[in-house]
Amino acid sequence: MSSLGFFNALKMVFVFISVALIMSCESPQKEHTTVLDSVTTLVSDSSSMIDAKNITEQLNSENESIVLDESEMALRFIVSIAEGYDYDSIHHVAVKAAQFLNYSLDTAGSYYNKQQKSIVLSEDNEDDIWAGEYMFRRYGEQKVSIEMRYAYTDTIIKHNEVLKAQLRRDTTRLFVCADVTNEAEATRLQKKLLSEFPHTKIIAAEIYMGCMH
């Protein structure tokens, strides 16, 4: 793309974003994700991209550039059995935990990408927006999964900008997730797991439960 073409494309992006923001203000009932998806498509055509991973991080943060409906946020208690950077070790714990709890080990169509050092959906996933990206777990169900730690911000560090930034920069830390549930169920499950998995803990985090497309 020539320099002139690039700048013209960039100009179109800014114009489109401005129009999209005005429209979103005039139509408050329209989900904010529609604007995000449209901008993502247009910017992608200009050789720059707002990717799904960035959206994931923004949705789980207090980023003021995105206005989320507070009714779509929910406090969830995530049961973390083990954390670490070595996928093979984490996967081994996940298999043992699934057997111990008599749960399934569910990848939800994801796999560990060694180059990205991240859990991601397969490139040929039917969800073309999140294909090749990490889709964080938001629901319970009796299953064990492997998740990325940066996607869940503890409420205890909600107002600590230094610790929040440190968490989000740590983009390769994995953890074995046993449940995403309410406090009572998380506490019950933690007590059950501690006898076999002494590093089990509960992460209280506000999770975006609205549409991700």
Looking at the chain, how many residues does it have?
Answer: 213
What pLDDT is recorded for position 129? Answer: 79
Pick from 177, 152, 205: which is nearest to 101 by CA? 177
Instruction: Read off φ and ψ for residue 186, nearest 5 degrees.
Output: -65, -40
What's the distance, CA 201 to chain centroid? 19
Q: Provide the β-strand partners of residue 48.
A: none
Q: Which residues contact 30 (CB under 8 A, 6 or more apart)?
A: 23, 24
What pLDDT is recorded for position 56? Answer: 53
pLDDT tens, residue by residue, 104-117? 999 888 999 999 99
- In whole angstroms, give the CA distance from residue 38 to residue 201: 39
Pick from 180, 178, 121, 120: which is nearest to 144 by CA? 178
CA 181, 54, 121, 200 torsion-angle sign: negative
Angle at 169 between CA 119 and CA 52, to 5 degrees: 50
- In whole angstroms, give the CA distance from residue 165 to residue 113: 24
Of the pLDDT bands very low, low, confident and very high (cuts 50, 70, 90), residue 213 is low
CB atoms within 10 A of CB 108: 11
pLDDT tens, residue by residue, 4-59? 444 444 444 444 444 444 444 444 443 333 333 333 333 333 333 334 445 455 54
Q: Which residues contact 128 (CB under 8 A, 6 or more apart)?
A: none
Q: Provide the β-strand partners of residue 131.
A: 121
Of the pLDDT bands very low, low, confident and very high (cuts 50, 70, 90), residue 68 is low
